[in-house]
Amino acid sequence: MERTAAGVLTMSAPTLRPPPRPGLTEPAAVRVLLTSVALLFLVAFLFVPLAFIFVEALRQGWGAYVAAINEPGARAAIWLTLLVAALTVPANALFGLTAAWAVTKFDFRGKRLLTTLIDLPFAVSPVVAGLVFVQLFGRRGWFGPWLFEHDIKIIFALPGIVLATIFVSFPFVARELIAVMEASGREEEEAAGLLGANGWQTFMRVTLPNIKWALLSGVILCTARALGEFGAVSVVSGRIRGETTTVPIHVEILYNEYAFQASFAVASLLAVVAVVTLVLQTVVERRSRQTGAGAAEAAVQA
């Protein structure tokens, strides 16, 4: 069983099994009651809110919807968010790969400490994540005076937003990969090494094919988080309109200005990203289970 939020997200759905025989399940009335309670809860807490975003966004028609998204502030926010994700995701994917490689294929002192550190951002409030960067790079932070002298802006500017986003989104890839690489063991890599493959060949031909679905799933989760991070970014962003407002911050600003329809219109973009994330996750999970089952079958036949 996985330990953290990201792990939970990727936990595979239970395999299908035939419904239990009568006598081994609850009476029909109890079944109906339990199902209704579950569905009512999910409808009230998941489906209605999701639908509400789109209803509210489209309440004044398509024209107003498009106008809210096409307005310069919103466009700048969309570009900034995409830029932040484009910088964050590759960095974290690379880190995730090396971290998982180090943790699962080698033994060294302090390994537990390393894995705990990788998990840490999940346990830290996003606001605290933003705060620590302000303390490092803010005007009165540790490096603040030096940065000010050299006219480098990190807080209330792009680098700060990227740093905060990296902080909150980096465990996703690492965690996914560690789980899979731990399960697959080291034998295949060791065999490749004995057969004369160098490190790079081993990685490209042996490790990567084994972990590609986990890597993809980690990247999807990391991207979703990078596009939608609010708490950490709101602390370091400074909310300079058109310059340091990401899409979630833009949503907040519009909402606080009582521009509800515009706010929900922009928010609906993030809702679409969320739904796409869920769909992709489901597809990746299914594919990885198929290939997993295929590999097991091949192994049995061999």
Partner 1 sequence: MAFTVVYLTAIVLVPLLTLPAKSFADGWGYFWQTVVDPRVVASYRLTVGASFVAALVNGVLGFVVAWVLVRYRFPGRRVIDAMIDLPFALPTAVAGITLTSLYAPTGWFGQYLEPYGIQGVYSPLGITIALIFIGLPFVVRTLQPVIADLDVELEEVATSLGASRWQVVFRVILPYLYPAWLIGFGMAFARAIGEYGSVVFIAGNMPMRTEIASLLIVTKLTQYDYVGAAAVAFVLLILSFILLLTLNALQGWSARRLGY
Q: Which is nearer to partner 1, 195 or 244 (CB)?
A: 244
Please, what is the minimum distance in Å from the beta carbon of residue 286 to partner 1?
Answer: 10
Cα(272)–Cα(222) distance, integer angstroms: 16
Nearer to partner 1, 210 or 245 (CB): 245
Quote the least distance from Cβ 151 to partner 1, whole Å.
22
Shortest separation between residue 253's beta carbon and partner 1, angstroms: 10
The set of long-range contacts for 238-241, using a CB threshold of 8 Å and a minimum separation of 24, is 238/155, 238/156, 238/157, 240/156, 241/73
Shortest distance, position 206 Cβ to partner 1, whole Å:
19
Taking alpha carbons only, the member of 54, 40, 16, 75 closest to residue 275 is: 54
Q: How many CB atoms lie within 10 A of CB 157?
A: 17
Minimal distance in Å, beta carbon 19 to partner 1?
6
Smallest gap from Cβ 204 to partner 1, in A, equals 18
Q: Which is nearer to partner 1, 231 or 242 (CB)?
A: 231
- Whichever of 79 and 142 has its CB closer to partner 1, that residue is 142
**CA 200 and chain centroid, separation:** 28
Give 15 or 198: the residue with its C-beta nearer to partner 1: 15
Q: Nearer Cβ to partner 1, position 44 or 66?
A: 44
Cα gap 287→268, rounded to integer Å: 28
Smaller CB separation from partner 1, 32 or 208: 32
Q: For partner 1, give the closer residue by CB, 17 or 301.
A: 17
From the CB of 209, what's the least distance to partner 1, in Å? 22
CB of 301 to partner 1, least distance (A): 27
